[in-house]
Homo-oligomer: A and B are copies of this chain.
Amino acid sequence: MKLAVSTAATIALLVGAAQADEGMWTIDNVPTAAIAKATGFTPDAKWLKKAQLSYVRLAGGCSGSFVSGEGMVMTNHHCISDCIAELSSAEKDYQADGFLAKTRLEEKSCAGIEINQLIDITDITPQVEAATAGKTGQDFANARRTVLADIEKNCAGGDAKLRCDAVTLYQGGRYNLYKYKRYQDVRLAFAPEASAASFGGDPDNFNFPRYALDMALLRVYEDGKPIKSPHHFKWSTEGTKEGDPSFVIGNPGSTSRLRTIAELEFVRDNVAPSFLFWAQERRGRLIEFGRENADRNREAFDDLNSIENSIKVWKGRQMALADKEFFGGKVKAEQDLRAKIAADPKLSAEVGDAFEQIEKAQARYVQLYQRLIHLERMRAFDSVLAMNARLLLRAGDERLLPSGQRLREYGDSRLPALKQRLSNPAPVHADLEVALLTFSLTKFREQFGPDDALVKAVLGKQSPDQVAAAAVKGSKLGDPAERLRLFEGGKAAVDASDDPMIKLMKVVDAAARQARKSVEEEVDAVVEQAQARIAKARFALYGDSVYPDATLSLRLSYGKMQGWTELDGTEIKPYTTIGGLYERDTGAFPFDMAKSWEAAKDKVNMATPYNAVSTNDIIGGNSGSAAINTKGEVIGLIFDGNIHSLSGDYGYEPKRNRAVMVDVRGMTEALRHVYGAQHIVKELGLK
């Protein structure tokens, strides 16, 4: 379970009082009374501070945490599989064989990974409110963008080792500045074989019982040396039993729990079917591409994993939105809220036509949506080279403007990450690039028709295959040196380039920018302001025992180790054991147990708990989160949710929504007896 699709955040509040175990709470506003009631434990300031400083965010959208004093970070294998693929070659395949550094000198650099440690949270609501006071529509959006960019820039103060993100909470009810220490030298210490990490593959993804060792250990370096990390979670030796408390520390990506029914209908009728329609063909193409030979299989591996994950996520969401009971509950909640507002003249006046505004904006969104996703969100240009070309093109144009007036992702504070991305030496696979770009150009023509002016401008008198092959094969953007040359050279260098991929991106850039601008102005800005009015009324009606929708920022979830009862009455137990892995092994992908486990059969304790489920309220982006006990010790490593958790985008359903983790005892047993990583076990503070 990776962070699926990071769409424009519509940020919202919970409707009423939280269910038991519900909530993704900001670390500076945890519901201590509810936690005490549910778990018998009251987290104090010290416990919370330790949680904050032990937690890290992986810049790609996963969570992690320090687990030793020498910069060791625990996260999921699937969070760093790009790195593993990049380190691999035909000779040495770390996806297949796993990786274990015997000494620190053997630790290998993950060029694409940036790790952020959250060192400070400050409230910037007053500054933002001052800068936007009295403004509406596009003026409001511009003023807000400018002030947020200024605040981020001033916070980092030009220091490339800092990263500052302005986080919009409660639909703009509150703005916080999250200040991170930025680490860009991250190395791989341990990763099991892909066949152990993602045992069960796509069939088992979002399912349980489960038997996966979805873990990896990284180490953070600075100035060529491992950092000191005094704030970290030790590993528990006892682990948990059914009913024990579990706290999850991580950065859930996004939720949509307080979108209005009009917004959810838009998702149900447009976003979900459009994505699944596109993604399923992409999946089919990737699978067949990979069936050709082993090299291609490896080249397509990550893209395939990622799209299959997203497909399950969206299928789950679509199921939830099509479920009459679940969606009916959402409809009823909105009706209740609107009735309460209508009954209160003051609230009623404040909210005004907010719901109608949102409804109208959604109708407009239907008209704008396909241009947005095909042109701006690159669905028509499904290619690493194309993404780099766009990035270079826009980096050239945007840097001519003051930071605050740029497209947000080109603000000064984002430039270091951008540059790191461009310097990533990961190879670009030309055949795969051609296959995917061909696919996506074909969909582009299918969507808008061969007579569309932009389709004609892109394809001319050629087929999607021809355009893709020419752009990929003629492009030098696979070379990091060339990318950096164009980045450093700015607009002049980019304008002078005759790279065919840059030329292709130039053809659509104006239309793509316009597609984005239209949605930002005619949909996002309208919805946001309407949502803010609704949010105020919600506060007034339901009090402040609420949490904001997820925003890829640190959240605490509390819950307990617990199975569930399936719709057909089946009881699902909360733990699986290592013995179950051996029983489930068929020898055939994706149920083929790794060789190291076969070899260790007589050494491992079959009764050791391996995977487990808890009631924690999590979502994509929580991948790699530590689950800890009241003592702040690691009891597990979150890597998935069950199939029922996919409704979590829209609400928490306590009966069946479960988080899936690797049990700490399973990880310890594996490091000790399967991988012979005694030096790591020792570093983790175990014997």
Residues of A within 8 A of B (CB): 200, 202-204, 207, 269, 273, 276-278, 280-289, 291-292, 315, 318, 322, 435, 438-439, 445-446, 449-450, 460-463, 465-466, 586-589, 591
- Between A and B, 17 residue pairs with Cβ closer than 8 Å are A203-B446, A203-B449, A273-B273, A273-B276, A277-B280, A281-B287, A282-B284, A284-B284, A284-B286, A284-B287, A285-B285, A285-B287, A285-B288, A288-B288, A460-B586, A462-B586, A463-B589
The 8 Å CB contact of A586, one of B292, B435, B446, B461, is: B461
Shortest Cβ distance from A92 into chain B, in angstroms? 25
Q: Are the C-beta atoms of B202 and A446 separated by less than 8 Å?
A: yes
A445 — nearest CB in chain B belongs to which residue?
Answer: B203
Known contacts A285-B285, A446-B202, A450-B200; decide if A273 and B318 are in contact (CB<8 Å).
Answer: yes
Given the interface pairs A207-B449, A281-B281, A445-B203, the reply to whether A435 lies near B288 with Cβ below 8 Å is yes
* Nearest CB in chain B to that of A283: its residue: B281
Q: Are A591 and B284 interface neighbours, CB within 8 A?
A: no
Tallying the copies of this chain within the complex gives: 2
Measured between beta carbons, the chain B residues less than 8 angstroms from A461 are: 586-588
CA of A206 to CA of B174, assembled, Å:
50
Please, which residues of chain B bring their CB within 8 A of the CB of A276? Answer: 273, 276-277, 280
Q: How long is the Cα–Cα vector from A462 to B465 in the complex, in angstroms?
A: 36
Residue numbers in B under 8 Å from A288 (CB-CB): 284-289, 435
Cα A587 to Cα B460 in complex, Å, equals: 11
Which residues of chain B come closer than 8 Å to A269, judged between CB atoms?
Answer: 322
Residue in A276, A283, A465, A586 whose Cβ sees the most chain B Cβ within 10 Å: A586
Q: Give the docked Cα–Cα distance between A463 and B195 (Å).
A: 14
Which chain B residue has the least Cβ–Cβ distance from A587? B461
| CA of A576 to CA of B283, assembled, Å | 38
Determine whether the beta carbon of A588 is less than 8 Å from that of B280: no
Q: Shortest beta-carbon distance, A506 to chain B, in Å?
A: 22
CA distance A273 to B280 in the complex (A): 12
Q: Would A588 and B462 be within 8 Å (CB), given that A285-B288, A289-B288 are in contact?
A: yes
- Report chain B residues within 8 Å CB of A318: 273
- Separation in Å of the A462 CB from the closest CB of chain B? 5
Query: Which single residue of chain B is at the shortest CB-CB distance from A268?
Result: B322
* A591 closest partner in B (C-beta): B450
Q: Which chain B residue shows the least CB distance to A203? A: B450
- Give the distance in Å from the alpha carbon of A165 to the alpha carbon of B287 in the complex: 43
Are B277 and A315 interface neighbours, CB within 8 A? Answer: yes
Measured between alpha carbons, how far is A129 from B200 in the docked complex, in Å?
Answer: 55
CB distance from A279 to the nearest CB of B (A): 8
- Chain B residue contacts of A465, Cβ below 8 A: 291
Per CB-CB distance, the 10 closest pairs between chain A and chain B, nearest first, are A284-B284, A288-B288, A280-B280, A463-B588, A281-B284, A284-B285, A461-B586, A285-B288, A280-B281, A203-B450
In angstroms, Cα B321 to Cα A322, docked, is 14
Shortest Cβ distance from A311 into B: residue: B277
Q: Could you tell me the distance between the alpha carbons of A391 and B207 in the complex, rounded to whole angstroms?
A: 36
In the assembled complex, the CB of A51 is this many whole angstroms from the nearest CB of chain B, namely 36
A295 vs B253: C-alpha distance in the bound complex, in angstroms? 46
